[in-house]
Amino acid sequence: MHKDIERVLYSPDQLRQTVHALGERINADYTGRSLLLVSILKGAVVFMTDLMREISIPCQIDFMAVSSYEGTRSTGEVRIVKDLESSLEGFDVLIVEDILDSGRTLNYITNLLRSRNPASIRICTLFDKPEGRVAPIHADYVGMQVPNEFIVGYGLDYNEKYRNLPYIGVLKPEIYGV
């Protein structure tokens, strides 16, 4: 375990099992449809990569980069850093996100993508932190609920660090200044 981690919340095996179960549900729900997975960079890239491997039906992928955090806090303002390259018309869009916390970012992205006329739009998040929710949004696919603690690993970061940890850990409060 990394020295900055207070405790491991989810092991690599727990993450694999959860991603596998999400993939099975997506396979069942999207069979025969035109699935486009949209990953929100950078945090969701690890989850998206593993989730794609669990999806056995034809699908396409695209990426979007947004910014709304400084350190541990949401700025409340969402900026599009990299937009999609794909047209959404006719696609069943599945937004793949690492964590649903305040909901501001996903609410903004969902509304933006809905305006581009996809056949449907849903959200898949590996982690849901409902205690932090301020926007009226929910995920259609949720891997696990997490406590209101600062978690890192498996793509989630603090100031661009810890994304490469193979597990989800609770970051020691002294690391992020609480």
Q: Which residue has the tokens 């850990």?
A: 169
What is the per-residue pLDDT for 176? Answer: 85
Residue ranges and CATH numbers for the domains of the chain are 13-147 (3.40.50.2020)
What is the per-residue pLDDT for 57? Answer: 96
pTM: 0.91
What is the per-residue pLDDT for 74? Answer: 56
What is the per-residue pLDDT for 24? Answer: 98
**CA 94 – CA 89 distance, rounded (Å):** 13
Strand order in the sheet with 5-10: 5-10, 168-171, 151-152
What is the per-residue pLDDT for 98? Answer: 95
Our answer to whether residue 101 is catalytic in this structure is: yes
**CA 83 – CA 117 distance, rounded (Å):** 16
Cβ atoms 100, 106 nearer than 8 A: yes
Catalytic, out of 50, 98, 101, 128: 101
Ranges of the chain with pLDDT below 70: 69-76, 178
Alpha-carbon separation of residue 1 from 11, 13, 170 (angstroms): 11, 15, 11
What is the per-residue pLDDT for 56? Answer: 97
- Which residue type sits at 107? N
What is the per-residue pLDDT for 73? Answer: 59
